[in-house]
Structure 1
Amino acid sequence: MLKIRTVSEVNDGVNILYSGEARYVTSFHRAYGAGMQVSGFVLDASTEAGLADVVVTDGRQWARTNQDGHFTLPSSPARHVWVRVPRGWDTEQWWSSRAPELTFRLHQEEQPSLPMSFAHLTDTHVSTLTGDPSDAVELAVRHGDGTDTTAALDHALQRAADSGADFAVITGDLTDHGTAAEFDHVHTAIARAPLPVYVLPGNHDHYGHRHEPRDTDSPLGGGFLGDATVERYEEELGPRWWSRTIAGMHVIALDWFSAWCGIDDQLQREFLAADLARVEPHTPVLVLTHDQLPTSWLQHLHTSAQHLRLIGVLSGHWHAPKVVIDEGCAHVSTGPAGFGGLDWSPPQLRLLDWDGTSLTPHTPTPVTNQSSNPVVPPPADGRHQSLAVGSGQHLGRITCAKNRWIMPSYDDTTQRNYLSAIDVDGTLHWRHSLGTTPLTGLTSNDDQIIAASVSGLLTCLSPDGTVLWTYQLGSHLHNRLHNAPITTDNGVVVAGNLADLAALSISTGEPLWHRDNLGPVDTLLTYGNGTATDDTVILPFGGPYRGMTSLEIATGTVRWADDSGTPLPLSDVVPVGPGDALLVRSGPTIERLHLDTGEIRWRTPLQGRFSTAAPHHNGHTITLVSGDGIMHRLDIDTGTISARTTIPATRSAHGPYRTTGTGAPTAPVHCARGLVIVLIDGSVWHLPEHGQPTMLTDLNSTVTTQPAVLGDRLAILDTRGTVHIVSL
């Protein structure tokens, strides 16, 4: 329950006695002192006349200026005081360190004319330090390529302006280590940006105590994401939660990580309620936060904004984009602006259109500092066909049913996903929409097709496209489902991730059991698809708390799981031999393990960086291409590497935490010609048993969806929603 007590009226403001945890209040007073009363003025910069009815706050207590522009705030431990900039006004300095007397000067500013657009950036991770490879959150050290993140931020902001954005918001993880030097780089980039920029903190912005420790540090938090201090961000960039009016929207920013760490959860809840209470009815509200708000926060937000119109909640943190439109509110997550996402998405920003009534998010716009090298065009000799099945598709895979390709796609115009069945000659047999969030998991046989969306909606269809049943896994707002459902020989389909896992009857969709208590979900996605034995399913959960896990098909009971500290599974679980499987883990490494017990037969280190593509085997030899294009050949019995070669880059690509090199997000496929792999840049390569890889063709378009073979033809779906059928 919200705890707010009105103890005094100050210029029509309300003084809130916050009820945060005692440990936070104690540490806050130790760091900042008991505070002081603040008085001052809000003036028209051009006339020096006072501006009436302007809200001034320190994020805890509130004041409203009188006819002379005067305000008074009582004593408070808050570090800053800021003015809630009203519509039609702006200022060069909207916040100030707390002092007995303050003056804010606003100047009239013409608001962007509607309709207009603005840019959403996130997770810029500006870095000046190399980081510590042993630190779990410094993944860019292990998987990155030394991308100049400051230059990338400059480039992204310029790209936003060039794309027509009137302003930009950056929803946290501005820095990688939270140090003073990194904050200085961010501040400088914002100052020279070609458009207004509004920022808020993420978890990495609160890690400064790890790298520049102080005697006064008193971090709170824990778990995979670690603990936090908040003083460094406030010293460099000001208030961690704030609000203002932009283009008729009431924009409110929160510090998700400090609340998550238990530092100021209640304080921010009280701020949210008190701030929204001072907004005119029916005003559109846009919320900015680093991670998606948990269910309890969303409930509090909706309760506090009952008299308002909630139009959007923008976030990042996962390094993987997602959009869900829920009751007219756009819940938007965008990938990193300066390097590739954990889901192989490119460096990106997102444009959102605002017409005064509704908020419309667009597919992310790639941001790149590289220029492409000349490419080989697709052959024009009849060996290549192209067919548009949508306007885009990221991740997922093509499967086969009844001698047809079944493939996902997404249409940005209609904001719908689609499933299409295409004959081997390129004829579109059927195409159905299955919802509004992209399809990322697909399993099929000659009797059923089961499609999974990123928001956790399962749809079962017959091979002729008839929908048989649907089932929602967990919260459609919070689920991020990237792995495909598993079908078993006894008529059960198991689907989900750590957020929510369920076993369903494949014929009816009726749940047999579900698990939502397997462990916390902390950013790391489950990339790989699982497999089944006679009585168990084995899933490569994306950790860090569980990893590989075997569960009984009949009950959902866990039989075995990875020991703590085991490298995280990243690829599909690929069956091999009697009761064994192959798996790629972080490192990267590849291993052969026994499915009944989890016992490791052998484990071999690989060359390369972040690798999520599955290995392929022919019963004797394993072929695996690591994330940045290094092909390995291994003995299936011993794991001994017999050959290793790098597939030469056709042009610079991207991968998780990097913007250069060759990208290999998909696994090799077997066809009449042998093994073929499609790289992220759309180049198609033959992998002969002996000798060097040779390029068959180049589609000149990005590919992250797993291709599939029918007969002597390979279907490749690019990120523009075009399927390429290549004769082999």
Structure 2
Amino acid sequence: MQGKVLGARGEPVPNVMISDGQTITRTGFDGTFSLTPTGPFVFLTRPAGFTAAPWFVPATATDVTFTLVPGETADSGVYRFVHVSDLHVSVDNGTKFYPPGAEIGSQDALSLFLRGLPERAAEVQSVIATGDLTDLGSDAEFDALRRAVDTSTLPVHVLPGNHDHMAGGDEVGFVVSRNNYAINTGEPSGYERNLGPRWFSFDLPGLHVVALDWHTHELGLDDAAQDAWLRADLEEIGPTTPWILLSHDQPWTSILDGLPSDPVATFSGHRHTSRVVRIGRTIHVNTPTPLFAGLDYSPPSYRIVRWDGEQLGLETRAIARTGLERATFAMPAAIHRGTAGGNAAEGGAGGGDASEGDASEGDAVVRWRHQLSGAGHRAPVRVEGDRVIAGVKREDLPSGAVEVLSLRDGSQLWQAELRASTKGTPVTHHGHVIAVEVSGDVVSLDAETGTERWRVPSPDPLRLFAWADPVVADGILIVGDLSHVRALDADTGELRWERTDLCAYQTLVSHSNPLVLGDTLILANFPAPIGIAGLDLHTGEVTWQLGGNLTDLIGSLWPIGTPLYDQASDTLCVPTPSGLSAIDARDGAGRWQLTTELPFSPATPASVPDGIAAVFAGTDVVLLDRVDGSIRWRTPMESAAELAMASYTRTPQVLFAGPVPVPAEDGSDGSVRLLVSGLDGHIYALDAASGKRLAEVNVGAPVAAPVAVTDELIIAIAVDGVVTAIERNALL
């Protein structure tokens, strides 16, 4: 192939990198190049400040002209782009893989997001989407994707994900890859036919950008070719040029080991999850989708990435009304540090009408408030004696914290900085506060001072996405899930046993906390060939296991939340993508199943004297018969919220956290109240026997975590990281 690169006025442009995806050459002083292609395309590395028309051609072309057109430039030395992932543009709402009620990507939803970016983020100059652009990889979906992208006023850079290689989904199969990933098979010809090269590079001001096809690399279809090209590309730019890597899933050692230089950062998606960690000199950024809620129950969101030529900065924003864009990702501007008293309605998130006994207007029902040094989410605080323990997540930095507060007035007793966010509730043991960082590191802190006592490094910080709470039983600390579970000595951190062979590695985070019943450890996972299993607590030996096959994600037992153990019926009630499944706690035999209107609700139900209480469809609280799962009563909240958190939805829900049963203040008759957190900012109290709404308190921001209850206080952590201590008698 002979060709040339010209500027907008027809002048030759020298020293531009040209590649066929295998070898790399550069244009001469006259702007010409010569290449014998071995790959399907020939493309140029677009220089900083330029786009190209075209930027790639088929390898069969003979006389080629690439024309550079002035494009993206740095504003005052700073360049900003939006990172998104997993758009899942569908022409039929993805009915093949999702339960009724799911809301995934579409041409209209993507176009609306892209057209709104100049208003949402006026400072950004381009968009990068790291794969799963379509849901099933059909030509019709690629056409819908192109039509949506064409409405964008910003340049949009795309690369493939595993769903983009499903070729319409009719022949898709599931395999365990060469690196033990459970993943679908792939046929990349559809992506190439519709969008072009699957790996390539381009330059932003002061920053080289490399995009790979993670899925085919993982399947072993072209890993050698991609590796060879990547190394050649990096050798061309030299070891001192800063660069970032774009990959659909978090790149592993199979991609990163042995490179000529380390990337400043990697950007990925796939897991529909938000995680930022630093490993060595590289920040690894995993971003959810802007079109529906994530599998980590983050709201639809995106990241603004800032590069100033030396440092990279992140700002994560939700698709939400003004004032809530940063609520689940960073602490708000208004800081509360152990603030005593005050009206709980201040700064309210809005919501429904006050019910009987409403305490949300005018009454001083709040004893204190405290703003954590980061955001909150689904993990409740833990109360131990006179202390309140909270984990802190920070989505814009590779850091997190554990904070310990005074139960009396909310003042901070100590704060321990961590190397990454902690998204589970820390556990206590013999003077230790133990937290798990999202990279899988386990950290023990002195309960009095916060000083680090011991740290057990993650066995795989690149691939472990650790969200589950640590659990201590009989001196054994359990961390992890079915794909990688460790039993540590809770006093020393010494490894007791470890299992990595129970199922193939999962690329989706597990939100099911370990559950211990006597000497049995119950672990649940989504998705996995094993859905739920019982292990011997002391040895890790499997005593029973249940699950479906990888082709039946909805019909099988796929736990997405922590099971409830109901002692009255000796039953495990397991949240699944389509509802609840009740199984025998001893052998896993099925009892009953309930399908709900809201898919992917991870809330753990609660056991009360008259049945099983659960949040239902994101709007109602229900009481289920513990024998057959039939509904005994159903109470709607009749309120409005602003955040969508249930996976594969973009319609906001009011209820998300599971109910907390508490004996009534005058509980001599055995009466029980249910405390239910609301994404409308309210904490509701219901009578567990009848479902009658008794009282509510507005804490001022959405609450996605269950409350903690003491003799005098009810303690809620809102998504903005504000911890509020409510007088118990205001609700009970």
Q: Normalised by the size of structure 1, how large is the TM-score? A: 0.86
CA distance in 1, matches of 2:398, 2:254: 28
For 1:390-429, list aligned pairs within 5 A: 390-410=373-393, 416-429=399-412
Call closer, same or farther: CA 1:413–1:109 in 2, change over 3 Å.
closer
Bigger drift between 143-152 and 240-249 goes to 143-152
Q: Is 1:381 matched with 2:363?
A: yes
- The residue number in structure 2 matching 1:659 is 650
8 A Cα contact 2:503 2:528, kept in partner: no
Q: Is 1:632 matched with 2:622?
A: yes
Q: 2:518 aligns with which of 512, 527, 534?
A: 534
Output the amino acid matched with 2:546.
D
8 A Cα contact 1:396 1:482, kept in partner: no
Q: 2:423 aligns with which of 420, 440, 453?
A: 440
Task: Tell me the secondary structure at the aligned position of residue 228 of structure 1.
Answer: coil
Q: Is 1:304 matched with 2:259?
A: yes
- Can you list the C-alpha shifts for 1:157-214, whole angstroms capped at 9, x where unaligned? 6336642112221101111122223222322333332222211111111122435x8x
Bigger drift between 449-458 and 244-253 goes to 449-458
Q: Is 1:125 matched with 2:94?
A: no
Pairwise CA distance, 1:684: 1.9
Call closer, same or farther: CA 1:706–1:157 in 2, change over 3 Å.
farther
- The residue number in structure 1 matching 2:117 is 159
CA distance in 2, matches of 1:333, 1:240: 20
Call closer, same or farther: CA 1:241–1:446 in 2, change over 3 Å.
closer
8 A Cα contact 1:457 1:471, kept in partner: yes
- The residue number in structure 1 matching 2:414 is 431
Call closer, same or farther: CA 1:503–1:695 in 2, change over 3 Å.
same
Pairwise CA distance, 1:151: 2.7
Q: Is 1:478 matched with 2:439?
A: no
8 A Cα contact 1:587 1:606, kept in partner: no
Q: 1:181 aligns with which of 137, 140, 150?
A: 140
- The residue number in structure 1 matching 2:152 is 193
Task: Tell me the secondary structure at the aligned position of residue 496 of structure 1.
Answer: strand
CA distance in 2, matches of 1:284, 1:434: 28
- The residue number in structure 1 matching 2:268 is 315
Output the amino acid matched with 2:392.
S
CA distance in 2, matches of 1:469, 1:631: 42
For 1:465-614, list aligned pairs within 5 A: 465-466=449-450, 467-488=452-473, 490-565=474-549, 566-577=556-567, 580-614=570-604
- Can you list the C-alpha shifts for 1:667-719, whole angstroms capped at 9, x where unaligned? 11133551111123323222223144466133342333332112242211122
Q: Is 1:326 matched with 2:310?
A: no
CA distance in 2, matches of 1:153, 1:305: 39
Q: Is 1:40 matched with 2:40?
A: no
Q: Is 1:272 matched with 2:224?
A: no
Q: Let me know the Cα RMSD of the aligned residues.
A: 2.9
Bigger drift between 572-581 and 176-185 goes to 572-581
- The residue number in structure 1 matching 2:67 is 105
Pairwise CA distance, 1:374: 4.9
8 A Cα contact 1:627 1:665, kept in partner: no
CA distance in 1, matches of 2:584, 2:281: 48
Q: 1:52 aligns with which of 8, 11, 14?
A: 14
- Can you list the C-alpha shifts for 1:55-111, whole angstroms capped at 9, x where unaligned? 2112123332222222121143x3321111223433232112331111111134573
Q: Is 1:285 matched with 2:275?
A: no
Q: Normalised by the size of structure 2, how large is the TM-score? A: 0.85
Output the amino acid matched with 1:679.
G
Call closer, same or farther: CA 1:596–1:671 in 2, change over 3 Å.
closer
- The residue number in structure 1 matching 2:54 is 93
CA distance in 1, matches of 2:65, 2:659: 65
Aligned residues: 673
Q: Is 1:621 matched with 2:583?
A: no
8 A Cα contact 1:156 1:338, kept in partner: no
Call closer, same or farther: CA 1:635–1:454 in 2, change over 3 Å.
same
- Can you list the C-alpha shifts for 1:585-616, whole angstroms capped at 9, x where unaligned? 42534344333322334444445321211111
CA distance in 2, matches of 1:281, 1:224: 35
CA distance in 2, matches of 1:208, 1:683: 46
Pairwise CA distance, 1:507: 1.6
Task: Tell me the secondary structure at the aligned position of residue 235 of structure 1.
Answer: helix
Pairwise CA distance, 1:638: 4.3
8 A Cα contact 1:147 1:659, kept in partner: no
8 A Cα contact 1:65 1:71, kept in partner: yes
Pairwise CA distance, 1:257: 1.1
Call closer, same or farther: CA 1:237–1:176 in 2, change over 3 Å.
same
Gaps of 5+ in 1: 1-37
Call closer, same or farther: CA 1:431–1:166 in 2, change over 3 Å.
farther
8 A Cα contact 1:609 1:628, kept in partner: no
Higher relative contact order (CA 8 A, sep 6+): 2
Call closer, same or farther: CA 1:321–1:254 in 2, change over 3 Å.
same
- Can you list the C-alpha shifts for 1:9-52, whole angstroms capped at 9, x where unaligned? xxxxxxxxxxxxxxxxxxxxxxxxxxxxx211111221x23222
CA distance in 1, matches of 2:394, 2:686: 34
Pairwise CA distance, 1:259: 1.7
Bigger drift between 65-74 and 284-293 goes to 65-74
CA distance in 2, matches of 1:438, 1:160: 30
Task: Tell me the secondary structure at the aligned position of residue 264 of structure 2.
Answer: strand
What percent of counterpart residues are identical?
26
- The residue number in structure 1 matching 2:702 is 702
Task: Tell me the secondary structure at the aligned position of residue 405 of structure 1.
Answer: strand
CA distance in 2, matches of 1:449, 1:254: 41
- The residue number in structure 1 matching 2:44 is 83
- The residue number in structure 1 matching 2:340 is none
Task: Tell me the secondary structure at the aligned position of residue 210 of structure 1.
Answer: coil
CA distance in 1, matches of 2:426, 2:576: 25
Task: Tell me the secondary structure at the aligned position of residue 159 of structure 1.
Answer: helix
Task: Tell me the secondary structure at the aligned position of residue 319 of structure 1.
Answer: coil
8 A Cα contact 1:649 1:661, kept in partner: no
For 1:207-218, list aligned pairs within 5 A: 207-210=166-169
CA distance in 1, matches of 2:490, 2:109: 51
Gaps of 5+ in 2: 325-348, 353-358, 550-555, 665-672
CA distance in 1, matches of 2:418, 2:109: 38
CA distance in 2, matches of 1:191, 1:425: 57
Call closer, same or farther: CA 1:603–1:374 in 2, change over 3 Å.
closer
- The residue number in structure 2 matching 1:255 is 213
Bigger drift between 106-115 and 613-622 goes to 106-115
- The residue number in structure 1 matching 2:684 is 685
Output the amino acid matched with 2:141.
E
Task: Tell me the secondary structure at the aligned position of residue 281 of structure 1.
Answer: coil
Bigger drift between 335-344 and 655-664 goes to 655-664
8 A Cα contact 1:400 1:445, kept in partner: no
CA distance in 2, matches of 1:567, 1:633: 22
Call closer, same or farther: CA 1:583–1:352 in 2, change over 3 Å.
same
Output the amino acid matched with 1:422.
L
Call closer, same or farther: CA 1:219–1:378 in 2, change over 3 Å.
closer
- The residue number in structure 2 matching 1:456 is 440
- The residue number in structure 2 matching 1:356 is 309
8 A Cα contact 1:286 1:313, kept in partner: yes
Task: Tell me the secondary structure at the aligned position of residue 441 of structure 1.
Answer: coil
Call closer, same or farther: CA 1:516–1:368 in 2, change over 3 Å.
same
CA distance in 2, matches of 1:685, 1:158: 35
Pairwise CA distance, 1:499: 4.2
Pairwise CA distance, 1:403: 3.3
Bigger drift between 639-648 and 235-244 goes to 639-648
